[in-house]
Chains A and B, each alone.
Chain A
Amino acid sequence: MKQLNRKLLRELLRMKGQMIAVAAVVACGISVFVSMSSVEYSLRTTKDRYYSDYRFADVFMQAKRAPEAMLESVRNIRGVAAVRSRIVADVTLDVPGLNEPASGRLVSMPDRKRPVLNDVFLREGRYIEAGHPEEVIASETFMDANGLQIGDRVGAVINGRWKELVIVGKGLSPEYIYEVQPGAFFPDNRRFGVFWMSRKALESALDMTSAFNDLSLTLAHGASEKDVIRRLDDMFRRYGSLGAYGRSEQLSDRFISDEIKQAGMQITVLPTIFLGVAVFLLNIVLKRLVTTQRDQIAVMKAMGYTNEEVGLHYLGFAMVPVVIGAVAGTAIGAWLGLGLTGVYEGFYHFAELIYYFRFEEVALSVLLSAGAALVGSLSAVSHAVSLPPAEAMRPEAPVVYKAGFLDRKEFQKKVPVSIRIIIRNLERRRWKAALSVLMIAFAVAILIAGRYSYDAINHLILVEFNEKHREDLTVIFNESRPRSLQYELSSLEGVLEQEFYREEPARLVYQHRSRRQSITGLKTADGLKRLVDAHNRQMKLPEKGLLLSTTLANVLGVSPGDTMTVEFLQGKRRTVKVPVGGTIDELLGLSAYMRIENLDLLTHEAGIVTAAYLRVDDAESEKLFADFKEMPGVAGTSMLKAMQESFEELIAQSTTTSTVILTTFASILAFAVVYNGARISLSERARELSSLRVLGLTRREIAIILLGEQAILTAIAIPVGFLIGIGLSVLLALGLSSELYRMPVVFSSFNFVFALIVIVVVAVFSGLMVHFRLNRLDLIAVLKTRE
């Protein structure tokens, strides 16, 4: 087989343009596959190891205050493996170098280091020392964001008393892989941090001796999470339990788990498209090759080469570029995966995010691409195999052209011959033309879908940060406050507008479905906080009952008009029937709104507020922030603008990266399809075009005939690609959406213009490359060769 291999190699080199195109398309598909599947595996494995190494709990519960003695009864619940009680408190912080107050979450740790659930990984420094109540381990993200060093001091108002905390260690915990302040969605690492400190110190500062307000536990193998949660809820109701919940409701875990799921989804779609296009390209290139080599196939068979040998030889034309593409794609994929892992490190904080590159990925990508090569070469190879040698010796019968609809008399007069040749050629092979259109359309679609997420996130930022919120600042109180507090706030210099609201933890129950969910009591739907839906439409608060976000209504299976049960988890803990007054299509999270006066009525507790939106005067803000830092009862403040900035910074990086990658890949795809299409028609029609040149047509005229076909296909493909792109984006939106957030289906017109420009540029470029070959057409040689 040596000489056949030599033939293979030399002919592959001669067809290098087409083969490189095939290899590039395969490389794109495989690199997406390898990068996404390795990233998915790396994130999942890192998360699982981190969870198990630092004993991340399975079930969590917050209560007002429960006696430590209860712990024994929790241990006795069937299915509970290990239990840990903690004291957790949210406080206002005064961070050096930061004007506005930050908020901190203080989490108790044993005075002497021992392995505990939700343990802390020490990156730097040391563990807290017994007898030093001021010592804390601060979260790495907070320290890095604020430029804090070991030994730095941070002020905190704990239970109304000013305390100075000394940072002795820099730490991380599986509980805060996604570190975001309570009630918020996006991290603001400058203004929120977690601090681990001595249990004793917290006990005395918060008057919690022999008591706890936070419980976490792990489950024994095979235990029922649901049963344990039910038991916990029964046991801790009277201690002000806000309801126990599993990992799936733990915010950090939900974000990271959703992210892993999304990465997993992306393993399939793009690689399928790219490998599909590779199959198509191989199919047309090899079919043409077999046609031009009919006589050679006959000779090989006449010489006694077996069908298997001939078949394998032509399969080689598919295997070589595909294997080269797969190898390059695997390398690029590993490199991309490593880079992507770095991008994830900006959002998710692991003790160590390890990038795993596995043999399985390589094996699977080799398998996938070999499959693509097989499928792509199937018809050509089987044609070569089944060609009877005597048949192959005869020239192929001329292709049959029939008069098409454009050959009617009225057209014949108006349409020049060159255009008629183009149209007839397209008509004759409708399927091939349709497939070419589809392939170019895929390239357009990938461009659209690639920029879609950019548009969607911009829209999300617009709605969530700008349209919904007019406030500058949210002040959260660490327990319910009387409404009279508004006079105190109003008296502060710099407060221009204020609006109180009330968050009431509750469990919403409808039939067999239930959900722990805070109910937000608002005064109005169009105050500082505006209730607008995903399409930026102003909504109203219903006169009676709840306004649920669409996602929440879907989770519970309720529609407007249904009556559901609400169990309040604080205060008088009343259970009431409440009608669903309406739904609001929101992009972020789950929410339930109602008029604050209705909430007062339902809870039998009037005049209570838990937080306030403020609009402040920039000039006075410094003074105002200083006041907040010392105000008792303030659990923290959050600044929308800061959150938006940090979110945009993170998102900008990842969307820019993915847009650049997808644009490159889509361009390669478009180039491969258009260039190959034109090269094949050049090969098929070299004789015909040469004859036309001999008859006196200019180079320009035959170029129009050849490239006009590709131009028409591209022109048709663009609108088709827009439609597929929209469909692909909707799929993407569905796949990327979770309970936490939904991707809005929005497109900027720039997206379409951009896709159009890229495709036109790519098409013109590949046209020029073929035109260059056309100019070198050797008229005599072409006419002398046997067809």
Chain B
Amino acid sequence: MGYNRNSTHEPVLRVDNVSKIYTMGEVKVEALRHVSADFYEGELVVLLGTSGSGKSTLLNIIGGLDVPSKGRMYFRSKEMTAVTEDELTVYRRESIGFVFQFYNLISSLTALENVQLVTEISSNPMSAQEALTLVSLGDRMNHFPSQLSGGEQQRVAIARAVAKRPELLLCDEPTGALDYETGKLVLEVIRKVNQELGTTTLVITHNVSIAAMADRVIHMRSGEITEIERNARKLSPSELSW
């Protein structure tokens, strides 16, 4: 499908005036302040900000891992801030794919088994092999995480996230723990998934260069959205450099 719709369409996900306040020990941290944003079918959005800008918090709320202190979030016009814990689990299980900075693979399971962990519980998954082939790891399926390089581990994590055919792919600093070349390789995989599967993709990064591969870039600072810009021309990850 690819990104071919404009902002007049119904968004897949809408964040409406969301705030989040944490209590860390004895300190109160206002991680998000009145954030509003829409995400549309098939687009690739990069959420750009320095550490502490609130981007991870926003991602966690979008992914149903966390709930806002104030404000609302809608997924396909359903208010996710009003649902039960169980419905939130179903939301994550069926609609969301996560990729983490530190891959977070289960070290006691092989690459294939890590992906199967997801395919077993979702209703319309692709096969785990297919998902691993998509990230070009078809030949390393039976390796344990400790036998894989960082880039390979992150690709397993991506395979694991997309195997369920999520409507929303959320990537939290996917290249943060990787070297330059491997990072680009991983971004290429994300682009491929976005393009070939049409999955709405949200990539969090502090790396400004990565923003160039997005349809839209949301800038964040101190828990607030400072700017939303649309890229006139998307670069492919191979064209990026930092």
Contacts and interface: CB of A to CB of B under 8 A. Distances in A.
Interface of A: 1-4, 6-7, 10-11, 14, 295-296, 298-307, 309, 388-391, 393, 397, 786
B12 interface: no
Contact of B93 (A3, A4, A296, A303): A303
B89 A10 contact: no
B155 interface: no
Given A3-B120, A307-B89, A393-B100, A10 B63 contact: no
5 contacts: A7-B109, A7-B117, A10-B109, A11-B108, A302-B92
Contact of B92 (A295, A296, A301): A301
Closest 10 CB pairs of A and B: A304-B93, A390-B66, A10-B108, A389-B65, A390-B60, A304-B92, A390-B65, A3-B117, A299-B104, A302-B98
Dominant SS at the A interface?
helix
Contacts of A303: 92-93, 98, 117-118, 121, 160
A231 B110 CA distance: 85
Contacts of B92: 301-304
A786 B104 CA distance: 11
Nearest to A398: B25
Contact of A388 (B25, B66, B121): B66
A393 B65 contact: yes
Interface string B23-65: 0110000000000000000000000000000000100100101
Given A295-B104, A306-B89, A786-B102, A6 B65 contact: no
B7 to A, nearest CB: 28
Contacts of B89: 301, 304-307
B112 to A, nearest CB: 9
Contacts of A2: 116, 120
B113 interface: yes
B90 interface: yes
B106 interface: yes
B55 to A, nearest CB: 13
A304 B66 contact: no
Given A299-B100, A302-B63, A304-B122, 17 more contacts: A1-B120, A3-B116, A6-B109, A7-B108, A7-B117, A295-B104, A300-B117, A302-B65, A303-B93, A303-B98, A304-B91, A307-B89, A309-B121, A388-B66, A389-B65, A389-B66, A390-B65
Interface of B: 24-25, 57, 60, 63, 65-66, 85-86, 89-94, 96, 98, 100, 102, 104-106, 108-109, 113-114, 116-118, 120-122, 160, 164
A296 B100 CA distance: 11
A305 B121 contact: yes
A305 B116 CA distance: 13
Contacts of A10: 108-109
- The CB with the most chain B CB atoms within 10 A, among A7, A388, A393, is that of A393
A301 B104 CA distance: 12
B96 A304 contact: yes
Contact of A301 (B65, B102, B116, B120): B65
Contact of A299 (B60, B85, B90, B98): B98
Contacts of B24: 397
Contacts of A302: 63, 65, 92, 96, 98
B146 to A, nearest CB: 9
B121 A304 contact: yes
B31 to A, nearest CB: 10
Contacts of A295: 102, 104
B117 A4 contact: yes
A1 B89 CA distance: 16
B85 A307 contact: yes
A347 B19 CA distance: 80
- The CB with the most chain B CB atoms within 10 A, among A2, A296, A299, is that of A299
A206 B144 CA distance: 93
Contacts of A786: 102
A305 B119 CA distance: 11
